[in-house]
Homo-oligomer: A and B are copies of this chain.
Amino acid sequence: MDKKGDFELENFLPFLLNQAAEESSLAFQRVYKSRYGLLRTDWRVLFHLGIHGRMTAKEIGQRSKIHKTKISRAVQRLAERRFLTRTRDERDRRSEHLELTPAGEAVYRDLRGIAEEYDAKLSAQFTRGENALLRVMLRRLAGMG
């Protein structure tokens, strides 16, 4: 049926990973977008702070590999909505410490619960071993291995 060769886009890992990433992000995206008006970078930053507590924009960047301009703007949006506070480091006045406000914590807890549920639902289609292996492989591919 297909014209030439045996190359299949559907087996090309970068393509397949992108499709899986997009599809699996959709349902979760709808929640943080419609419920809190957050952008993708927003919830990621929020989660980093929710998980690790106070950190600087730089530290978030190191962990997430999100570009600093995206982080800067996400922090602005989150600060405007009083989801986090920024306090200058007095030892190094270039950087500032970011920390969730109670309101930010509440959003984090809510989204985190949804994330856990959603992750469980995705994982339910596979066995325990398959899930473990998948994560190992993805971490390796992500350069987090």
* Chain A residues engaging chain B, CB cutoff 8 angstroms: 2-5, 7-25, 28, 44, 47-48, 50-53, 64-65, 112, 115-116, 118-119, 122-123, 125-126, 130, 133-135, 137-144
Contact = CB atoms under 8 A, between A and B. Distances in A.
A17 B16 CA distance: 10
Contacts of A139: 10, 16, 20
A21 B47 CA distance: 20
B17 A51 contact: no
17 contacts: A2-B52, A3-B52, A4-B50, A5-B51, A5-B112, A8-B51, A9-B44, A9-B64, A11-B135, A13-B123, A13-B135, A14-B28, A14-B119, A18-B25, A20-B138, A20-B142, A130-B133
Contacts of A53: 2-4
Contacts of A140: 125-126
Contact of A141 (B10, B14, B24, B44): B24
A119 B91 CA distance: 47
A130 B122 contact: no
Given A19-B142, A21-B17, A133-B130, A48 B3 contact: no
